[in-house]
Structure 1
């Protein structure tokens, strides 16, 4: 195994992964089996309409997320999460025993109560599921871990849904309860292997008021603007995805003219897409939390949502089919493959969208509040999904077709994305930087673990080209405020990136003394606030590929604000389009072709008192080596 799949060999991840997979599988096994039974055998259970029963079951399952998420978040912050996971599995076994009693007694209220308790089980496990990952995984494993969890969850939903339908039609309903109890027992045995995850707030006093605690948890999330808007983005994705999934049965029958197996085909295609997109995140982000993938994901969610609407056949085309089409017949119909490709890519880009957001929330949430912030996210997820279901039902009831509903949702997705990126330009900035660097270069990173994960530091680097700052920004997961020549700061297109990232323009004293003093004041303020500041001490881009003398600006910065200094060296950019080799930069586009190899190398941090300009230059020269 390689990359993120190595985690499946680790005791700190595999038992947890198996536990959450089996839990998601069991939830959907029982829920779908119950819905199928109530749909096809409703008369033997109740006089209520099957359609009402199906929606009632969905509402009962999601209700605990509103009532108990706040309490679940507090429990996960107060107690060991591994122990909580085991207790939740014990609860799951008891729930399945209760479900068995409901089938024996032929009691719909008992079965619906068991479904409600299963929703409670998922509610309690939710904060544990996401808050435990940062405790057991290294920062560079968070994206891979979240990718496996998301992929595994959607596969578990698919397989559990299929298994539930099969068991519901296999004979006696006790088969459903028996299978659920066996899966719950296996989940408990798996959970016993989860390593301890100590409580960050063991002295926390539990507030049982769900309303005040929910508001408090939302307040914790709002303390970090990026975290809160990431949570809103996650909730929007669940609304968007749930809206599409909910239409699959009617879309399969009334738009594609397919049979029941078509619903399974659509669900499987979408699920495989989500899994593939989630697993690709680690490769595309180079193991760091790359929020530049989020706008990339939102673009795909919009484009392929619109194309799905355009690719869908109109209702008149169904008139030629006397009976529902099987899967083989449906695949022979022109246009079906386009629909399936759109669904697959919707899933892929959904993975690009949601995995970095979950990892970002985990990484930037305060450890003492992390589980409660996840709980707030779960509440908002449920609220958004309910709102989306009600809105879709109203629009369909008003006569809107399913394809047009898809098109409207895709258009709203674009508007929501633009709104979020306007509020937090960091997302769009990272996307632009990621696209620029990964479409022109192949970037290798070495020694960047020396850049501190938190707290202030001054980064110093050789200056080879106009895109040096972009390359360093793409390589570092933390935002960096670069000090740069005011003329480079004003370069068209790049100016948006530099402005949005909080870059600090500077000018020589003889050219603009006021701007120079203003720049040093901003640097001191940024370092005092715990930010990273990047500087190119040569004072300009090299004209011959060699590293010039380091100017005394670094000494003044460190005299005003003593912080650690991390030396960096860029390799391979000399001779690129953006360098000054053989004449002005950018005069010969793609001079070295696409995907040329470059590298960013980091060295051990130096204390401020040792970081003289000459010492720093020697360190950078050593790191760069002979490769300019």
Structure 2
């Protein structure tokens, strides 16, 4: 049975109220922030430098993430997240009431103070926003939930930005915007009333009000004390915001100086970029098979670099006109469609990149540390966004690069940054190769895999058809699987990198190499005692004729020493493929064919002798070799 679409979550009370709450918050932030910027540029008669004021707005909104994210992380651990969200959303109503007053009075100092308070509210909300998801969603829903949150956030940002522009075009803009921000804040609070209970993860936590000491402690917790996969995911996450800030900051100047467009062209590009991220986020769930699939991260990274380079390549030489092009005028030129395609690609592959990283951070962080780790991630995000502004200034003014050349530079920097991340955590590259195999050469269908327990030790037994059996199984099962395989297959070039990274156990025949043989059973025992999933191919060798060979006694020794549940499995459709031992195989034989991995009900260890297991696997495989 296929898993339900991620959009089914929008019909669940454990997700919909939260989704509406965070989307309305992002929408409201951008209505007010963009309205303030437009008021500074076009409405308010201030004698101050307008460029300085616009940059001050950006600073006032981002500064609270440095100052108060650590406090938000502590709040998220100590207090029930549902009640904390309601408190923060009620504070938004008060803040927006002050903002409305500032708009009606035309008071720039009051509006700037409100902008800082908005940033503070967002900094406190951020850690709770992502740490509540694992409490309300199942593991297989985590990627889909994150995808919807990212989609909702970017579409809300876009809608708020465009909505502010529309409202500010009216003569009575102050009253319209003031009414809107209070109304949206009230709707956000009402939506938060429907969020189900989410208990405090660490209610005994003593709050540290020294924000600088606590910020340092939280960064240390996130970057040093977590698993390398978590800490490097945080770096990758923040790097994405660095890239995003570079692109988003340069879009107005790019539209004006390279496409010779007016304000509507800026809106067009922002729309395409936001739709791209929303599309990539939504596709993530389908491409990941409803599990946290970090193999998509290298895929997303490659796309970010490719489309960034193409954007540089395609920029320049756009025809000028006596008057700036509007968005329809720009679309009349084929080059514009290519540029927009690159912008869409950057956004879409950004979605592939960011959603699995968020899901991994949530899934692999202890519940009592999750809010603080996400707070550390938010601090890093803010830091990288500030650094992106400094880098852009240095490249554009000091180094004298053009905007397309800046895009080229950050695309090449993306290669270096992610090469570092993937080197430190080779699991990203390993999972990418596994994911690529299952989405290129074969179409893998799964049946009955819910028989594999979500927690605790289990032994999987499967027929052995090809050199890539372990990759196909590892790519299908939600939990990490430790494979036991013949040491000569384990040592194959290229595949050895994947097997080593996945913690595969090489094994030899007892009479072939006794040291490898005994070490294998010792390692298997360690994995099972630690509550992990181990997969063994009891035939001990690849089939030479497509039929299942006799199961060896090793599986009985494993179960005698480690009595754990056993799940029989079978691969169908691999015989005759390039990686099998079929004498008539060819590279394109069975290319893109449907491979089925089917699992049967779990067996108690006392009932799982090798003859019974062989009969079960044979029955599951049936006549399809």
Which TM-score band applies after superposition, normalised by the shorter structure? Answer: over 0.9
Aligned ranges 1:92-107 → 2 under 5 Å: 92-107=92-107
Q: Distance in 2 between matches of 1:414 and 1:20?
A: 32
Deviation (angstroms), 1:462: 1.2
Kindly tell me: are residues 450 and 53 of structure 1, through their superposed partners in 2, closer, same or farther at Cα, counting changes over 3 Å? same
In 2, Cα distance between the equivalents of 1:5 and 1:120? 31
Name whichever of 46-55 and 542-551 sits farther off.
542-551
SS in 2 for 1:569: strand
Please give the alpha-carbon distance, in whole angstroms, between the structure 2 residues aligned to 1:165 and 1:73.
34
* Paired residue secondary structure (2:512): helix
Alignment partner for residue 26 of structure 2, among 24, 27, 30? Answer: 24
Q: Does 1:613 align with 2:610?
A: yes
Superposition map of 1:92-131 within 5 A: 92-131=92-131
Match in the other structure for 2:200: 199
CA–CA separation in structure 2 for the residues paired with 1:148 and 1:67? 28
Q: Which residues in structure 2 correspond to 1:305-316 (within 5 Å)?
A: 305-314=308-317
Aligned-partner SS, 2:440: helix
Q: Supply the distance in 2 between the matched residues of 1:589 and 1:79 (Cα, whole angstroms).
A: 58
Higher mean C-alpha displacement, 103-112 vs 414-423:
103-112
CA distance in 2: counterparts of 1:270 and 1:103, whole angstroms: 30
Q: Tell me how far 1:334 sits from its aligned partner.
A: 4.0
Q: Which moved more, 1:21-30 or 1:121-130?
A: 121-130
Measured on the aligned residues, the alpha-carbon RMSD in Å equals 1.9
1:270 is matched with which residue?
273
**Which secondary structure state, in structure 2, belongs to the residue aligned with residue 442 of structure 1?**
strand
> In 2 relative to 1, CA 507–2 (structure 1 residues): closer, same or farther, beyond 3 Å?
closer
Shift of 1:103: 2.6
| Corresponding residue of 2:474 | 473
Find the counterpart in structure 1 of residue 9 from structure 2: 7
SS of residue paired to 2:511: helix
Pairing of 1:189-588 with structure 2 (within 5 A): 189-221=190-222, 222-314=225-317, 320-398=320-398, 399-581=400-582, 583=583, 587-588=585-586
How far off its partner does 1:599 sit? 1.5
CA distance in structure 1 between the aligned counterparts of 2:321 and 2:348, rounded to whole angstroms: 32
Aligned-pair CA distance for 1:550:
1.8
Number of equivalent positions: 619
Deviations 1:531-565 (A, max 9, x none): 33221011111223332222121232334444433
Give 3-state SS (helix, strand or coil) of 2:287's partner.
Answer: helix
In the aligned structure 1, how far is the partner of 2:249 from the partner of 2:617? Answer: 57
- Give me the TM-score of the superposition, normalised by structure 1: 0.95
| In 1, Cα distance between equivalents of 2:6 and 2:263 | 36
CA contact (8 A) 1:34 1:168 kept: no
Q: Output one character per residue of 1:292-335: Cα deviation in whole Å (capped at 9) or x when no partner.
A: 11110000000000100111115xx56x4332111122122341
Are 1:590 and 2:588 an aligned pair?
A: yes
Give the whole-Å Cα distance in 2 for the aligned partners of 1:500 and 1:92: 47
1:51 aligns with 2:48: no
Matches of 1:424 and 1:342 in 2, distance apart? 29
User: What's the offset of the Cα at 1:395?
Assistant: 1.6
Distance in 2 between residues matched to 1:253 and 1:540, nearest whole Å = 65
- Alpha-carbon deviation of 1:68? 1.0
Q: Which residue pairs with 1:75 in the alignment?
A: 75
Query: Structure 1 pair 106/588, CA: closer, same or farther in 2 (3 Å)?
Result: closer
Using the TM superposition, give the Cα deviation of residue 251 of structure 1 relative to its aligned residue in structure 2, in angstroms.
Answer: 0.6
How far did residue 394 of structure 1 move?
2.0
| CA deviations over 1:338-389 (Å, ceiling 9, x no partner) | 1000000111101111111111111111111111111111111111111111
SS at match of 2:393: helix
Residues 69 and 375, structure 2, Cα contact 8 Å, conserved in 1:
yes
Distance 1:617 1:217 in 2: 52
Residues 102, 108 of structure 1: 8 Å contact kept: yes
Question: Per the alignment, in what secondary structure is the counterpart of residue 251 of structure 1?
Answer: helix
Deviation per CA, 1:248-288: give whole Å up to 9, x if none.
Answer: 11111111111111100110010111111111111111111
- 1:178-197 correspondence to structure 2 within 5 Å: 178-197=179-198
Cα distance in 1 for partners of 2:520, 2:404 equals 54
2:36 counterpart residue number: 34
How much has 1:120 moved relative to structure 2?
Answer: 1.4
Give me the TM-score of the superposition, normalised by structure 2: 0.95
For the residues of structure 1 that align with 2:372 and 2:548, how far apart are their CA atoms? 50
2:420 and 2:216 map into 1 onto residues whose CA distance is: 24
Where do 5+ consecutive residues of structure 1 fail to align? Answer: none
